């Protein structure tokens, strides 16, 4: 099988995985989702005020999650992003490892594609291994989840193991319908702050 | 009081809790002071744009932060400034200038000369300080602009304030 077709056979489906992760995480989980398909996946799983979907700022999702995790050490923070978005911000994994926030969990949905621009192959379709890169940066708990059997076994532990952790979940390369969250950035920021901090958050 | 300490006092007065930075000779003493401060989380970056995004996350979580960088780092931040503008996140940046005054390295010139234009192009308000007497007041004003008026503001610290840099020639 050549590299370009490999991900079409992966058994994990991103929408289903996002739903399962959301259920395990619960309603209080603070979530940052990266440009772009992970936004639609987690919106499909249930949009809520404590999700901050990023419609731009490619490469910045992990950094936003880091600042949030450091500001909210008592709350668990999930960054969910894709392989293309993560590849643009690889340095942020080194930055995370230095701070080592125990409440930060990072999920990378790796379909080995740039989904929003026409499913062009990313470097993970070839040799790049984001979990290995994270390990090399010093993130202790960085693994690849390759199939449903591995996910079933690991998922209950996702928010229990001390962070920072990074799981690369290999998901099927597939084009899905858009399920869009609100788009206005100031609204998304304000709804998040009000839900987390109360009315003082939008003063 | 050294000029850098005036920035430190202004940061403390504004209740800044996260400092994001790429190490820089002009900011070295301020960075050291922040690292030693147990009430400030000091976050070294691999590139300045990470810092912009970290500050967005800090604000989402209810904390104030500030970005310390050299003028060359401003160019690295351009697209991430768009995040701050679109979401109306506050931004307070303190920029030590290169390529401006007694510069020995021609490679520092292009970004130094483009710094103010690049910031303005992304709607970041720009203040400049070249006199140590102004630095406390201007730092306080930048922090007020960011956290009270929800603006993006940078204070450019003129190269005259720094010791003349050489690589021994």
- Banded model confidence at residue A3, pLDDT cuts 50, 70, 90: low
Cβ contact B57–A71 (<8 Å): yes
Residue A198 touches partner B, C-beta closer than 8 Å: no
Residue A32 touches partner B, C-beta closer than 8 Å: yes
| pLDDT tens per residue across span A37-67 | 999 999 999 999 999 999 999 999 999 999 9
| Residue range B11-40: mean pLDDT, rounded | 97
Distance from the Cα of A129 to chain B's closest Cα (Å) equals 20
- The answer, yes or no, to whether residue A191 has pLDDT greater than 80, is yes
Percent of chain B past pLDDT 90, that is, above it, reads: 93
Q: What is the DSSP letter of A50?
A: T
Identify the three-state secondary structure at position B23: coil
Give the strand order in the sheet containing B64-70: B41-44, B16-21, B64-70, B91-96, B152-157, B125-129
pLDDT for the residue numbered A5: 83
Mutate to test the interface with A, among B60, B123, B150 (most CBs of A within 10 A): B60
Taken as a whole, chain B contains a residue count of: 169
Residue A133 touches partner B, C-beta closer than 8 Å: no
pLDDT for the residue numbered A46: 97
pLDDT for the residue numbered A1: 54
Residue B40 touches partner A, C-beta closer than 8 Å: no
pLDDT for the residue numbered B59: 98
- The answer, yes or no, to whether residue B168 has pLDDT greater than 90, is no
B44, B46, B58: residue with CB nearest A67: B58
Residue A195 touches partner B, C-beta closer than 8 Å: no
Whether omega for the bond prior to residue A36 falls within 30 degrees of 0, making it cis, is yes
Residue A99 touches partner B, C-beta closer than 8 Å: yes
Summary mean pLDDT of chain A? 96
C-alpha to C-alpha distance for B43 and B30, rounded to whole angstroms:
13
Over its C-alpha atoms, chain B yields an Rg (Å, rounded) of: 15
Distance from the Cα of B89 to chain A's closest Cα (Å) equals 8
Lowest-pLDDT range, A140-149, A183-192, B135-144, B155-164? B155-164
| pLDDT tens per residue across span A148-184 | 999 999 999 999 999 999 999 999 999 999 999 999 9
Measured between beta carbons, the chain A residues lying within 8 angstroms of B17 are 71
Distance from the Cα of A55 to chain B's closest Cα (Å) equals 9
- The answer, yes or no, to whether residue A4 has pLDDT greater than 80, is no
- The answer, yes or no, to whether residue A203 has pLDDT greater than 90, is no
Q: Which structure tokens are listed for A41?
A: 């996946």
**Chain position carrying tokens 């960011």:** B146
Q: Which structure tokens are listed for A109?
A: 């949905």
Distance from the Cα of A1 to chain B's closest Cα (Å) equals 37
Residue B8's H or E segment, with its range, is helix B3-13
Pick left, alpha or beta for residue A100 (phi over 0 → left; psi -120 to 50 → alpha; otherwise beta): left
- Give the contacts of B69 (CB within 8 A, at least 6 positions apart): B21, B22, B24, B27, B48, B51, B77, B93, B94, B95, B96
- The answer, yes or no, to whether residue B164 has pLDDT greater than 90, is no
Is-contact A69 A97, C-beta < 8 A? no
Residue B84 touches partner A, C-beta closer than 8 Å: no
Percent of chain A past pLDDT 90, that is, above it, reads: 96
Q: Which residue of A has its CA nearest to B148?
A: A203
pLDDT for the residue numbered B169: 61
pTM of this prediction exceeds 0.90: yes
B44, B54, B87: residue with CB nearest A66: B54
Long-range pairs, A46-51, Cβ under 8 A, ≥24 = A46/A22, A47/A181, A47/A182, A48/A195, A49/A191, A49/A192, A49/A194, A49/A195, A50/A192, A50/A195, A50/A196, A51/A181, A51/A192
Whether omega for the bond prior to residue A164 falls within 30 degrees of 0, making it cis, is yes
CB interface of B with A, residues 10-29, below 8 Å: 17-18, 20
Residue A192 touches partner B, C-beta closer than 8 Å: yes
- The answer, yes or no, to whether residue A120 has pLDDT greater than 90, is yes
Residue A98 touches partner B, C-beta closer than 8 Å: yes
| pLDDT tens per residue across span B104-159 | 999 999 999 999 999 999 999 999 999 999 999 999 999 999 999 999 999 999 99
- Banded model confidence at residue A2, pLDDT cuts 50, 70, 90: low
| Residue range A137-151: mean pLDDT, rounded | 97
Q: What is the ipTM of this complex?
A: 0.97
| Residue range B91-96: mean pLDDT, rounded | 98
- The answer, yes or no, to whether residue A36 has pLDDT greater than 90, is no
């Amino acid at each position: 099988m050549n590299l370009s077709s490999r991900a079409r056979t992966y058994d994990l489906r991103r929408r289903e995985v996002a739903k399962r992760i959301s259920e395990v995480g619960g309603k209080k989980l603070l979530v940052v989702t990266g440009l772009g398909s992970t936004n639609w996946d987690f919106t499909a799983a249930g949009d809520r005020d404590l999700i901050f979907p990023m419609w731009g700022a490619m490469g910045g999702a992990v950094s936003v999650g880091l600042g949030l995790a450091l500001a909210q050490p008592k709350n668990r923070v999930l960054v969910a992003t894709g392989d293309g978005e993560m590849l643009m911000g690889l340095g942020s994994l080194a930055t995370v490892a230095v701070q080592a926030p125990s409440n930060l969990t990072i999920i990378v949905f790796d379909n080995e594609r740039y989904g929003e621009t026409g499913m062009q192959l990313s470097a993970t379709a070839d040799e790049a291994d984001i979990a290995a890169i994270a390990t090399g940066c010093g993130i202790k708990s960085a693994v690849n989840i390759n199939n449903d059997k591995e996910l079933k076994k690991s998922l209950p532990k996702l928010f229990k193991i001390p962070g920072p952790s990074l799981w690369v979940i290999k998901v099927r390369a597939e084009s899905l319908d858009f399920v869009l969250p609100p788009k206005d950035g100031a609204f998304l920021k304000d709804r998040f702050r009000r839900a987390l901090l109360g009315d003082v958050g939008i003063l | 009081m050294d000029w850098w300490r005036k920035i430190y006092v202004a940061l403390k007065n504004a209740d800044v809790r996260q400092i994001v930075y790429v190490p820089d000779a002009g900011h070295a003493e301020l960075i050291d002071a922040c690292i030693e401060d147990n009430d400030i989380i000091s976050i070294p970056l691999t590139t300045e744009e990470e810092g912009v995004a970290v500050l967005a996350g800090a604000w989402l979580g209810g904390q104030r932060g500030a970005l310390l960088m050299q003028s060359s780092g401003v160019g690295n931040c351009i697209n991430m400034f768009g995040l701050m503008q679109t979401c109306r996140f506050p931004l307070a940046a303190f920029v030590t200038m290169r390529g401006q005054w007694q510069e020995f390295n021609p490679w520092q010139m292009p970004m130094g000369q483009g710094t103010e234009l690049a910031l303005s192009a992304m709607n970041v308000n720009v203040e400049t300080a070249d006199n140590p007497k102004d630095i406390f007041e201007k730092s306080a004003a930048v922090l007020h602009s960011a956290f009270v008026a929800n603006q993006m503001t940078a204070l450019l610290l003129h190269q005259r304030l720094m010791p003349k840099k050489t690589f021994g020639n």
